[in-house]
Amino acid sequence: MELSEGIAWGVEERIGRIVLKRPERANAIGARSSRTLVRAIDEVLAGKPRAILLTGEGRVFCAGGDIGEFVAAGEALPALVDEILDRLHPALLRLSNNPAPLVVAVNGSVGGAGVGLALCGDFVLAAESMKLRTGYAAIGLSPDAGASYFLARRVGPVRAQQLLMMSDAIDSQRCLAWGAVDAIYPDAELGAASDALAARLANGASASFAGIKTLCAGAPARPFEEHLALEHKLLRERAGSADAREGVAAFVAKRAPRFTGT
């Protein structure tokens, strides 16, 4: 694992890992750390992992932007916003759109831009201590890092709007009930649970997962006729694959399949 500016990353055993490691600053994202996060995302994606795990260290997953930097910027705050988001937003798009399943383990409280990082996963696992507080409107700002997009996708646009406007702290149980997260674990068990899920996905039919992500991500805006045509195209491609042959053979033999991602 490489470590720089409070972020560690690497690809091991077909799993890409990105870890926010600046707990003394609540894993906040500033100008320098945002550049490092972009680098971490791109280098992990370049390693072509079959699953990706994003998590943090400490009691806070990510508090969002570095408020100290915002204060120091003063009248130059708009320029600081551009400096951070001009690179970070495209990198988050690449991470979200990557065909590998993305698991996010939310190890603690989350706010601001951390909401986007936390909820961008295909699977979002949370510690019992996790709390979500959007925070933007409370300091006169508006969302970034996909926070409004991913929150609306998971809890619905009206509830997302209310959460973003009110900035109230929402505990892990309500986050689960509303669909913001997919599962809750005792804090001490979250790491093992997220590692196990990432390993399971890394050993799965990765090309099938990629097709599933493509189908489901575009389904709300895609006409049904186009969607059926895309299902046909992708299934036909998979039907001729080595993984499909292995999957069918394993099913008939009543054994676990050994997928290769081809």
CA distances from 244 to 211, 239, 259 (A): 13, 6, 9
Query: How confident is the model over 1-59, as pLDDT tens digits?
Result: 999 999 999 999 999 999 999 999 999 999 999 999 999 999 999 999 999 999 999 99
Per-residue tokens: 100: 């590998």
Mean pLDDT of 71-90: 97
Nearest CA among 184, 132, 198 for reference residue 160: 132
Q: How confident is the model at residue 232 (pLDDT cuts 50, 70, 90)?
A: very high
194 touches 125 (CB < 8 A): yes
CB 66 within 8 A of CB 120: no
Looking up tokens 């990198």 gives: 91
CA dist., res. 53 & res. 34, Å (int): 18
- Does this model's pTM top 0.85? My answer is yes
Q: Which CATH class is domain 2-202?
A: alpha beta
Average pLDDT value over all residues in the chain = 97
Tens digits of residue pLDDT in 191-212: 999 999 999 999 999 999 999 9
Pair 98, 50: CB distance under 8 Å: no
Q: Supply the pLDDT for residue 261.
A: 85
Per-residue confidence (pLDDT) for residue 262, from 0 to 100:
86
Burial call 5-20: b when 16+ CB within 10 Å, e when fewer: bbbbbbbeebbbbbbb
